[in-house]
Amino acid sequence: MKDDLEKYIEKCKRADRAFAENFEAGYQEFKIGLILRQPREQASVTLEKPATDTNSEITHFAFGK
């Protein structure tokens, strides 16, 4: 049985073709970001630290911690 969120996502996919086409890729990117974020936070490392260590720059900001 689908929960309310799953029903809402299905409704959005039916109503908006662009949403339907991009949803899975966006969701996969979100999951990868979360997987990378968790150990970084557990180690108390900010986004700035790895960027500095690799001579990179932060080009965008994510919501959350």
Determine, yes or no, domain membership for 13: yes
Cβ pair 63, 30 in contact under 8 A? no
Determine, yes or no, domain membership for 15: yes
**pLDDT tens column, 50-59:** 777 777 766 6
The secondary structure of residue 55, as a DSSP letter, is T
Determine, yes or no, domain membership for 61: no
Determine, yes or no, domain membership for 22: yes
Determine, yes or no, domain membership for 65: no
Q: Please, what sign has the CA dihedral across residues 41, 42, 46, 50?
A: negative
The pTM assigned to this predicted structure is 0.54
Least confident of 4-8, 15-19, 50-54: 50-54
Q: Which amino acid is at 65?
A: K
Determine, yes or no, domain membership for 47: yes
Range of the domain at 23: 4-53
The count of domains in the chain is 1
Structure tokens given for 17: 């073709």
Determine, yes or no, domain membership for 60: no
